Amino acid sequence: MTIIDQPRDRKILNAMMPNYFGDMVKAVVDIVQKKMGVDAELHADIEQALLAQGSLQYDLWGINLYPEMDGEDFIEFDSMINIRPGQGNRSRDVQDADTRQRIIDTVNYLLPC
């Protein structure tokens, strides 16, 4: 698992792909602190690491990254940690458009093309 809090070359994901899922790398994004954890078997494992570093549950969202894809296909909004009825998110998807955009902005800041 790696915590990214400064911009890094997106190519670092290529080395992580074979670790668990082949063509995909799991990630959890902190949309307030502008950091994310990547490369674990479960989103929940990354979530716990970020919580231990001071992130707030409310700010953490699970995604999947596909390093060999571009554009909208690069990020998939799908994680069990995203099911939060108390925040109005009743799905594994991220339903709020503003939250989705904040995730995209954070990922693009931390992993520029």
Q: Which of 76, 95, 77 is nearest to 85 (CA)?
A: 95
Residue type, 106: T
pLDDT of residue 24: 96
What number is the average pLDDT over the span 75-101?
A: 96
pLDDT at 19 over 90: no
The band of 86, judged by pLDDT with boundaries at 50, 70 and 90, is very high
Q: Find where tokens 């063509």 sit.
A: 23
Is the separation of the CB atoms in 77 and 91 below 8 Å?
no
Considering the entire predicted model, what is its pTM?
0.96
113/58 Cα distance (integer angstroms): 28
68/88 Cα distance (integer angstroms): 32
Q: Find where tokens 């989705």 sit.
A: 100
Residue 22 has phi, psi (to 5 degrees) of 85, -80
Tell me the domain boundaries of the chain. Answer: 2-110
| pLDDT tens for each residue of 26-76 | 999 999 999 999 999 999 999 999 999 999 999 999 999 999 999 999 999
Is the separation of the CB atoms in 109 and 4 below 8 Å?
no
pLDDT of residue 25: 98
What number is the average pLDDT over the span 18-33?
A: 95
What is the average pLDDT score of the chain? Answer: 96
pLDDT of residue 113: 81
Which ranges constitute the DSSP H helices of the chain? Answer: 12-20, 43-52, 97-110
What number is the average pLDDT over the span 94-98?
A: 96
